[in-house]
Amino acid sequence: MNELTISLQPKSGKPLYEQIYLYIKEDIQNGRMKSSEKLPSTRSLCKYLEVSRSTVELAYEQLLSEGYVKAVPYKGYYVTDIKGLYQIKNSSREYQEKEQSQKRQYLYDFTPNGVDLRGFPYNAWRKLSKECLADDKAEMFRLGNPQGELGLRNAICNYLHQARGVNCSPDQIIVGAGNDYLYMVLTTVMGNHHKIAFENPTYKRDYQLFYNLSYETCTVDIDEQGMDVSKLEQSNADIAFVMPSHQYPLGIVMPVKRRLELLQWAEKKADRYIIEDDYDSEFRYKGKPIPALQGYDNHEKVIYVGTFSKSIAPAIRVSYIVLPRILLQQYWEKSGFLNSTVSKVDQLILQKFIEEGYYERHLNKTRALYKGRHDRLLASLKCLRTQFDISGENAGVHLLLHCKNKMSETELIQRAADKDVKVYGLSEYYVKQQMQKQATILLGYANMQEKSIVEAVRLLKEAWTEKDA
């Protein structure tokens, strides 16, 4: 190579040598200049670009110092082998492409994280808000109880006992603005010297949060009944993070036998605990709701976590945690000074929403709405039964399609995208990427109207049953 077509801009304010350096560097990173390829000599390049030789030498010296090129005596400059650098650049590009893909607006989106806000009880919420603010109560705007207002904790306690079989008293409940905040409070209570085992696959946001809080983390494979307790024992973890009522993303409901095995594991050592995330237990379509794991706990080993974000609306941002009594003293010693992150006004509105029966009516209405969409989706998917197995359809607001043919997850997602339908791959939920026996797709239906579900599945059938599929 004797020349490089570089468009130099003397008036740009950037030194000419830097412009040459950046141009060559980008070509190397993007793979346009290959390993061992020879660069033009400084003499020939300075003549071609009509710049001084020292300018080109400065650019080459910078590339040499950063390892992009190597100098061979009496021969010249050559591109070095920078596979690692190329991978960094390439992964950055892949990340940008993924971001752009996520920002793209699809005609139909089977997001598994959706909540139908069109069913939000605006009239009831507006009425209760007015009632709570009808009187000039200065007390409403003072700082409240760090654990949350007693009235709301009473309402939550009664609901949990009736609907989830949770055995607790209001003094064990801590109310906070979202699960993330409550997990950070839990860190101050327990310390971060524990090792936490997560199900694999899992909800990666929670895994990442505890990892960022400096916990030692690991994953434990799950079978058709949930977390494998024998593998949990081998992991040397002392906290198990599980979703027994509806595992996310696989949708597994942990049977009683496995729940008791998990509790027996926790009872073996004093510092072992189970964090039970009961995030969407309200939505079940086959049989009665499964009682919470905490209801089987006779030795104060389960830390129960719930939220209203999934059952009412994400913006409500009210979650709660039920601490075993053994941890309550530690809470008051280490975290009792923290103010509640949910305003007293919002807490009172939610309290009345529960106590006056609005919450139960809203849940019944939402269950019926999601059940209709669930049934419509299953009926529409009959046309794909020869190509896919279905699982996780008995609870929650998503199900899984397991591909029987040789199509990869990436190909399934791309074919769907070509039809303007957004679907989600199971691989996103593995902490460490691993080979899957079958490509698996998640289809969420909470945000989709029944007509949209039918049309979207029709497009998926076209995408996934083409002759070259």
In order along the chain (469 residues), what is the average pLDDT of each group of 10 residues?
A: 72 82 87 87 88 88 84 87 54 49 80 85 93 78 88 96 94 95 94 94 92 93 94 96 93 92 96 92 74 93 94 88 94 90 93 96 92 95 94 89 92 95 94 76 94 96 76
CB-based burial label for 319 (10 Å; 0-12, 13-18, 19+)? buried
Q: Say how far apart CA 181 and CA 187 lie, in whole Å.
A: 10
Q: How far apart are CA 431 and CA 364, in angstroms?
A: 35
Q: 116 is written with which tokens?
A: 């139908």
pLDDT digits (tens, 9 = 90+) for 99-138: 555 567 899 999 998 788 888 899 999 999 999 888 767 7
Provide the pLDDT for residue 99: 52
Write the single-letter amino acid at 331: Y
pLDDT on residue 15: 84
Q: What is the pLDDT of residue 319?
A: 95
Q: What are phi and psi of 145, to 5 degrees?
A: -65, 130
Residue 92 has a pLDDT of 47
Stated pTM of the model: 0.76
Show the domains of the chain with their CATH numbers.
Answer: 1-103 (1.10.10.10), 104-118+366-464 (3.90.1150.10), 120-361 (3.40.640.10)
**Tokens 């992964």 found at:** 91
The pLDDT score that the predictor gives to residue 48 is 86
| Amino acid 431: pLDDT | 86
Rounded Cα distance between 297 and 275, Å, is 12
Q: Identify the pLDDT of residue 234.
A: 96
Hey, how many other C-beta atoms are within 10 angstroms of the C-beta on 286?
8
**CA distances in angstroms from 68 to 11, 49, 65, listed in the order given:** 27, 21, 8
Rounded to the nearest 10 degrees, the angle between the axes of helix 42-49 and helix 53-65 is: 120
